[in-house]
Amino acid sequence: MFVKRFLSLLFIASLILVIAGCSIISNSNKISPVWTNTVGDGVAWINMNYDGAYIAVAADSAYLFGNDGNRIWAKDVNPEVIAIDSSGDLIATGSDADVYLFKVNGELLWHIIGDPGDEDIEAVSMSDDGNYIAFGTYNPDNNGKVYLYKKDGSRVIYYTTLTAYADGVSLSGDGSYLAAGSGGTALFFDNSGDLLWQEEVDTTTLDTITAAGISYNGNSVAFGSTDKCVYYFNNQGDLKWKFQTEGTINQIKISRDGEYIAVGSVYDDNIYFLKSDGTLLWKVDVDNWIRSIDMDYGCNFITVGTDADDMFLINKNGTVLWKYTGIGSWGGTPISGDGKYIASATNYDVSLFKND
């Protein structure tokens, strides 16, 4: 009798676990895009404004979509990167070494032809108000350059003495400071063009800095490296701490208040979530190496895209709220500043999700 009861209880418990597991999978499967639109081949970059009203896409053309799925315009500029300001009024993009600034209605405000020898724009970042736009470029002969433009098209920074291509270019939200990496050197500029400091984070290998993140006011800045470490500085150039992960870091996001840092890497399936004092709050295994990370303005939600074409939504406490398979993470997984919308893409399709 005891054995029968035990087996019955074990069966019921197992059934509950199966049902619970199916429920989790079912809930994940119920997550579906609000819309999906096909664009030309090669989605390279996606961005979104604060309230998710506009989604900017760099693919075979520069595209702007409304959050209703309607395509507002497409510009045949063969872009590699794209950025949009918080209001959605300004869209910056770059192709080869040329840079463009469009208004939301499609009007071209300016087009600046790149310098001879520049081949690829590797990164773009825009201040919240669109008053400053930064680009990082690659040149196989003369290495990279960092550019900072004002909204009127005037160039503030033209920094060429780099040891490698400019990567991890990141503007503070208020536009006051610019962080960039080149080789093993962390660079920190103000918006008048002055290089405030530079620090060698790793002198053992070449081309080590692969990512940078900065808080809204620029008081906190972090760099990621091929040595698998995160380096966290204040805006005076003082190294506050160093954190070791298990892979080459390719993604860093710092919350607007500088209190939290999300980190992802290649060949390491974990996303790491750190406090500004360097304490690891949690890490989540997402089963493949990480292509993209983003967070909303309040740092309530973190999106993660993986090389297995999975997208995760994780809350601030490290709980995975849902996982969506097959959408891809080409060009990023941006979340709107208010946390209500998330975009992602395959090589050909762009999708928008609503975070209810």
d(CA 130, CA 112): 17
pLDDT at res. 177: 97
Do the beta carbons of residue 127 and residue 89 sit within 8 Å? no
Do the beta carbons of residue 185 and residue 191 sit within 8 Å? no
Neighbouring CB atoms inside 10 A of 254's CB total 28
d(CA 27, CA 142): 51
% of the chain exceeding 90 in pLDDT: 63
Segment (H or E) for 302: strand 301-306
- Mean per-residue pLDDT over the chain, rounded: 86
pLDDT at res. 158: 80
CA 208 to chain centre: 18
Task: Find the mean pLDDT for residues 277-284.
Answer: 97
pLDDT at res. 51: 97
Q: Report which residue type is found at 116.
A: P
pLDDT at res. 16: 35
User: Each residue of 69-121: pLDDT tens digit?
Assistant: 999 999 999 899 999 999 999 999 998 889 999 999 999 999 998 776 666 78
d(CA 68, CA 35): 8
Please, which residues bridge with residue 260 across strands?
275
Asked if the model's pLDDT at residue 212 lies above 90, the reply is yes
Q: Report which residue type is found at 338.
A: D
Full-model pTM: 0.88
**Is the alpha carbon torsion for 250, 251, 252, 256 positive or negative?**
positive
pLDDT at res. 103: 98
Asked if the model's pLDDT at residue 281 lies above 90, the reply is yes
Beta strands, E only, 49-194: 54-58, 62-66, 71-75, 81-84, 90-95, 98-103, 108-112, 120-126, 132-138, 145-150, 155-159, 167-171, 177-182, 185-190
Give the Cα-Cα-Cα angle 183, 274, 297 (nearest 5 degrees).
90
- Whole-angstrom distance between the N-terminal and C-terminal Cα of the chain? 49
User: Each residue of 35-50: pLDDT tens digit?
Assistant: 999 998 788 899 999 9
d(CA 336, CA 50): 5
Judged by average pLDDT, the poorest of 14-18, 39-43, 141-145, 180-184 is 14-18
d(CA 198, CA 183): 12
Asked if the model's pLDDT at residue 342 lies above 90, the reply is yes
